Amino acid sequence: MMILSVRDLRVRAGERLILDGVTLDVRAGEVCAIMGPNGSGKSTLTGVLAGRPGLEVISGTATYLGRDLLAMPAEERARQGLFLAFQYPVEIPGVNNVYLLKASLNALRKHRGEPELDAFEFLNLVRAKIRQMQMDESLLNRGVNEGFSGGEKKRNEILQMSLLEPTLALLDETDSGLDIDALKVVADGVNALRSPDRAIVMVTHYQRLLDYVVPDQVHVLAGGRIVRSGGRELALELERRGYDWLREGTAAA
């Protein structure tokens, strides 16, 4: 089953054309990695799929579970099971982390016609997840990402993901800035989500994450297009050779 299907997507931010014809398919059960040099448009791609404001779609389509993704408001996409782990999770001072989690989970449940969890059920659930993520419970009662270390922010994203159990998870450099132990914890979180009816798109710069979460496909985004696709061996090749040989390839093509 196709979860996400992007066709010839062109996107502008401000005056600049950033995505210049991206085509991408993600099937149920797949993990797909997106790599590419800084500034190549990876976050723009995950952002436009999640409904980030300020990005203008010029042409192309994105179909999610058979529906026109780009026509849905951002919160609707989230309620339909699309989750974005942010490259730079934002701080929301004074808003309890656990309060946001609860509001979020209940918004999704309500959308699915399920009853809201009461405080007790919810807390049990969160406690279990937070142990999995090996996070300090005190982070639950701090402001959302307020004063969190870089690594704590990333783990918090994965905590949210494991609680919300999305159908399509977009992870934007969730591995950047993690120490080795944290990387394993995050990878375990992602692997736990892997299932035949879900899909995961991981944006990463490092082969290391892909050792733990083995991708089915690897795509290279450069100059606003997917310039190369392959299996996990493509990631290893990139690690050895960098991106320059691909750039030349596009210029020639």
The contact set with ligand ATP (CB under 6 A) reads 13-14, 16, 18, 36, 38-44, 54, 87
Q: DSSP assignment, residue 241?
A: H
Contact pick of 13, 17, 107, 236 for another protein (by CB under 8 A): 107
- Residue 33 or 135: which CB sits closer to Mg ion? 33
Q: Which residue has the tokens 């058979």?
A: 66
Residue 14 in the binding site for another protein (CB under 8 A): no
Q: How far is it, in rounded angstroms, from Cα 251 to Cα 249? A: 5
- Binding another protein (rule: CB under 8 A), the pick from 11, 22, 26, 55 is 55
CB of 6 to another protein, least distance (A): 17
Q: Please report whether residue 50 would count as binding another protein according to CB under 8 A.
A: yes
Quote the CA–CA distance of 187 and 214 in Å, as a whole number: 10
Closest alpha carbon to 9 in 221, 171, 216, 200:
221
Contacts for 97 with CB less than 8 Å, ≥ 6 apart? 139, 140, 141, 142, 143, 144, 145, 156
Query: What is the separation, in whole angstroms, between the first and last Cα of the chain?
Result: 32
Q: At closest approach, how far in Å is the CB of 234 from another protein?
A: 29
Partner interacting with residue 107 (select from another protein, ligand ATP, Mg ion, none; CB below 5-8 Å by kind): another protein
Kindly tell me which residue out of 79, 154, 155, 198 binds another protein, with binding defined by CB under 8 A: 79
Contacts with Mg ion by CB under 5 A: the residue count is 3
CA–CA gap between residue 234 and residue 21 (Å, rounded): 21
The footprint of another protein on residues 157-196 (CB under 8 A) is 160, 164
Candidate ranges 22-30, 79-87, 190-198, 206-214; the one touching Mg ion (CB under 5 A): 79-87
Task: Name the residue type at position 185.
Answer: V
What minimum distance in Å lies between the beta carbon of 191 and Mg ion? 23
CA distance 150 to 155: 9
